[in-house]
Amino acid sequence: MKKRNRALLSLVLLLALLAGLWYLRSAQGGPQPVRPPAAVDLESIPPFSGEPYVALADNVPSFLPGEMTTSSYEVYSPLDGLGRCGAASACVGVDLMPTEERESIGQVKPSGWQTVKYDCVDGKYLYNRCHLIGFQLTGENANKQNLITGTRYMNVDGMLPFENMVADYVKETENHVLYRVIPVYSGDDLVAGGVQIEALSVEDKGQGVSFNVYVYNVQPGVEIDYATGESWLEGESRPEAPETAYVLNTSSKKFHLPACSGASSMKKENREEYSGSRESLIEQGYKPCGTCNP
C-alpha cells in the first residue's frame, strides 16, 4: 500500500513538473518549436556543382503539425563550446519585420571569422557576417546567435533569394511563415559547410511558401579550410602556417609558449627553442602543454 502511494505521489509530482515547464514555455512568447531539429548529415549532401543550393527531402520542409502557429516568435540557440551558432527558428509575421534601418554589425566575430579579400569576389571580401534569419525577416541585427561566417556567394546568391521570397510573401499577404535555418558543421569545424533553410506558410498550409534546401557555404574560385576559415585561391597552394615561437621539452615531448611557467622551470638539457607551426610540432610527436595551451 505504502509503495503504491509513493508511486502515485511520484507520478503527481512528475505531472506537476511537466505542467510547470509547459506553463513556463508558453509564458515566454507563445508557441515555439516542439523539438530540437535534426542536423543534416553532410555526407548525404551532394558536392557543390555550380548551383548555390540543392533541395532536401524533395523540397518538403519537416515542420510538425504542433509547430503550426499564427503567433510570431523567434528563437536562437546558445553558442556551443566552440563559439558556433546553432539552429535559428522563427514564425515570421509582419509584426516581427524591422521598421528601423540596419545598424553596423562589424563588432561581431562569428566562429572562423577572417577578414580576407579576393579580386574574384563581388565586393572583394570573401566572408560576410551572414544572418541565419535574414535581417529583413525579424530585424535581428548584431545578435551573435544569428550571425555566422558565410561566403559572399552563399549570402547573396544562396540565401538572399529565399529570404526575399519569404519577406515578399509575408508583406503581401500578412500571413505567417515558419522559418528555420540550421548551420551544418563537420566535426569541430569553425566554419559551416552550408546551411539548411526550411520554410512553410501557415495560413494557406504551404500554398504560398514551402521549401527545404541546403545552401553551400562556398565561393567559386576560392578554396576554404572549414576547420579554421583559412582560404586561398583555387589552383594555388595553401599558404604556409605562420611561424610562432615555442619552447620544447625534448624529454617529455611537450611544447609550451615562451611565457609559460613550464617553459622557465624546465631543465636546461631538455629545453629547445623552436620557431614554426603548431601542426609541424604535432607531426613530430610533440603534445601541447595543458597549462599554456599553445
Note the residues at the interface with Zn ion (CB under 5 A). Answer: 256, 260, 262, 289, 291-292
**Which are the contacts of 146, defined by CB distance < 8 A and separation ≥ 6?**
76, 85, 88, 131, 132, 133, 140
Give least dist CB 286 to Zn ion, A: 12
Whichever of 181 and 289 has its CB closer to Zn ion, that residue is 289
Question: Is the Cβ of residue 126 or residue 247 nearer to Zn ion in the bound state?
Answer: 247
Shortest CB 244 distance to Zn ion, Å: 13
265, with CB counted inside 10 A (0-12, 13-18, 19+), is exposed
Least spacing, CB of residue 256 vs Zn ion, in Å: 3
Give the span between the Cα atoms of 263 and 246, in whole angstroms: 9
196 vs 142: CA distance, rounded Å:
21
The distance from CA 104 to its chain's CA centroid, rounded to whole angstroms, is 20
Closest CB to Zn ion among 185 and 286? 286
Minimum gap (Å) between residue 10 Cβ and Zn ion:
51
* Contact yes or no for 180/197 (Cβ under 8 A): yes
Task: Give whichever of 159 and 292 is closer to Zn ion, judged by the CB atom.
Answer: 292
- Which CB sits closer to Zn ion, 173 or 250? 250
| Nearest-approach distance from CB 257 to Zn ion, in angstroms | 6
